[in-house]
Structure 1
Amino acid sequence: MSHWSRYIDRSARVVRDGLSRVILMQGADVRATAPKTLYTFHTQEDIDQFATGCDGDIGGSSTVHLDLETSPEINAGSGQPTTAKFHGSMRLDVKPGFERKIRGGYAGFRNKNKPSIFGNVLDDLSGQDYLALRLRLSGDLRTRNSYFVNLQTDGPISTDLWQHRLYFRRNDGGWEDVFIPFSNFVRTNAGEMVESQIEMYRERVRSIGISLLGGNSGVSGKYELGLESIRAVNEEDVTAEPLQPSEKVGILDE
């Protein structure tokens, strides 16, 4: 699907959703609680919806890639013949001339803006309580405990970022579903936790992404994370209890 086709499709979806609410007489206080598939990683068109970035863009030396994964062996257990992989090299050193100017050790991706005739399309996740991600953990052992999920909303402070660390049960390269309660995300700004914590504005979610923060934990090496889907669900769709920090399985601690 071309960029123009996606633009028209999003615009038509806004109209359809608006008409559906009118026909069903849904008021502003009625929450749509059905599970929502926000993003899949099955085609190049899926991947093209995301932007990547790393410290290498501003004087560091880390690298970042978001590519299709077509290996039947790797995709076994994902439920799909094709998935994606977020991968590269996490490095803490910076290029000559950038010492003490930037901090190395960052790579990440997030969805691009979704423009339509009616403006950017945002996701209303107020009717779901959990973010659900189907992922595959790989790469050097030292990098496996430094992934974070990042949400940005259309709230009053545009630079706020809501973060939660990714914890995994598996360390064997297999696929698993990771569930994170939205209530457990922490409000941050400029990389620091904000002292005043408020409820996330889930009615207007602008972007969802994942980052590897090697600089925070002082780790480097080859990293790789497999991606199949990102969804929003409720309690009845949770198939594994969210892990707490003390329950991490098979991953080296810093």
Structure 2
Amino acid sequence: MALSLKVLDGVFLLNKCHRQNGFCSLFKPLVDSCHPRLYSSYKRPGTAPDRTPPWKKFDFNFQEGVERIKTHFGLLRKEVVDHVKGPEGRPLVEYMVEQVRVAWEFRSEEDLNKWSVSSDAEIGGKSEIFIKLGKNNQSAVLYGTLNTAVPRDGETKYSGYCSMKSKPRLVAFNRKSPYDWTNFNSLFLRVRGDGRPWMINIYTDPYFSHHKDDLYHYFMYPRGGPYWEEIKIPFSKFFFSSRGRVQDNQHALWLDKISTLGFTLGDKVDGPFQLEIDFIGLVKDRAHTEECAYELYERNPKK
């Protein structure tokens, strides 16, 4: 019995260590399935207490854990090799002269898995959004229905949004690795929409925890119709907001700490929508020298 308690304490410490230190994720797969069952506190009222001994609930999958550890070590090896070779695994000269890059393209289900979709259904709304591959697997089709009906929960006042967001890039041991876009000054997209406006959101990896709700926004207005459209948006046009409020203190986008990019539809017009995306790229426009498009004012100007 004492040995079983020590084993369970070790499982708890490993899970706690996994949340605090990425390296401890080496051992996380070995005990990944035991933590939720051992420490679940929910019980339906009136049910008899579970008298099953804890050691009988312990599910130890050694083979799966070893395979995941090998995978993470393989990713770590690739990460070290790329770091020695140059920025993002390319020679320094090639990296410095680069003027065009395709950040995301949509040619397979694997490309779609790099993105996630959400809507106001998460808060009780009725909007729906889906994503699928386009014709001949050459694009991504984002479609659904926008519904501005407010949930009857007595708290929510506004509803009606759908969004698509890229997943953070992960490296060895599930560490987040932000993108470095300092070589570029514009976002370049090839899309085909239905005329409805979309807000483009860029999230940067924050230095401090209280910056986790900071976002940079700008609007995209596809003209609609059967033809493809190429849209170029300078990064200097993106405005800074925090928790949904535009901030008076505007500053340029941190291009060396790009975490995710997303699209949001919330034009308060009920009905179906569709946006088809060929690719999302980056461009260095040498004719564009603007760093920030918005005037910066002092909060307490000296008189």
Using structure 2 for the length normalisation, give the TM-score. Answer: 0.63
**Counterparts of 2:217 and 2:113, CA distance in 1:** 23
Question: Counterpart in 1 of 2:284?
Answer: 234
CA 1:86 to 1:11, structure 2 compared with 1: closer, same or farther past 3 Å?
A: farther
CA 1:15 to 1:193, structure 2 compared with 1: closer, same or farther past 3 Å?
A: same
**Counterparts of 2:107 and 2:286, CA distance in 1:** 26
Question: Counterpart in 2 of 1:103?
Answer: 158
CA 1:101 to 1:133, structure 2 compared with 1: closer, same or farther past 3 Å?
A: same
Of structures 1 and 2, the one with the larger relative CO (CA 8 A, separation 6+) is 1
Question: Counterpart in 1 of 2:144?
Answer: 88
**Counterparts of 1:91 and 1:6, CA distance in 2:** 43
Q: Which amino acid aligns with 1:114?
A: R
CA RMSD of aligned residues (A): 3.1
Which string of whole-angstrom CA distances, capped at 9 and with x for unpartnered residues, describes residues 131-181 of structure 1? 11111112xx5xx13x1111000133221110000023x421321111000
* Superposition map of 1:69-88 within 5 A: 69-70=134-135, 81-88=137-144
Q: Determine which of 153, 160, 173 is the counterpart of 2:226.
A: 173
Contact (CA 8 Å) 1:164, 1:184: kept in 2 or not?
yes
* Superposition map of 1:234-253 within 5 A: 234-235=284-285
Q: Determine which of 203, 214, 217 is the counterpart of 1:152.
A: 203
Local SS of the residue matching 2:148: coil
Q: Which amino acid aligns with 1:192?
A: R
Which structure shows the higher strand fraction? 1
Would you identify which runs of 4 or more consecutive aligned residues in structure 1 move more than 2 Å? 4-17, 20-27, 30-34, 97-100
Deviation at 1:223, TM superposition (A): 0.7
Q: Which runs of 5+ in 1 are unaligned?
A: 73-80, 239-254
CA 1:209 to 1:24, structure 2 compared with 1: closer, same or farther past 3 Å?
A: closer
**Identity between Structure 1 and Structure 2 (%):** 22
CA 1:6 to 1:226, structure 2 compared with 1: closer, same or farther past 3 Å?
A: farther
**Counterparts of 2:162 and 2:121, CA distance in 1:** 9
User: Radius of gyration: which is bigger?
Assistant: 2
Deviation at 1:21, TM superposition (A): 2.6
Q: Which runs of 5+ in 2 are unaligned?
A: 1-67, 289-303
CA 1:38 to 1:25, structure 2 compared with 1: closer, same or farther past 3 Å?
A: closer
Using structure 1 for the length normalisation, give the TM-score. Answer: 0.74
**Counterparts of 1:194 and 1:110, CA distance in 2:** 23
Deviation at 1:121, TM superposition (A): 2.1
Contact (CA 8 Å) 2:167, 2:260: kept in 1 or not?
yes
Which structure shows the higher helix fraction? 2
Q: Which amino acid aligns with 1:106?
A: Y
Local SS of the residue matching 2:121: helix
**Counterparts of 1:180 and 1:16, CA distance in 2:** 34
Contact (CA 8 Å) 1:40, 1:230: kept in 2 or not?
yes
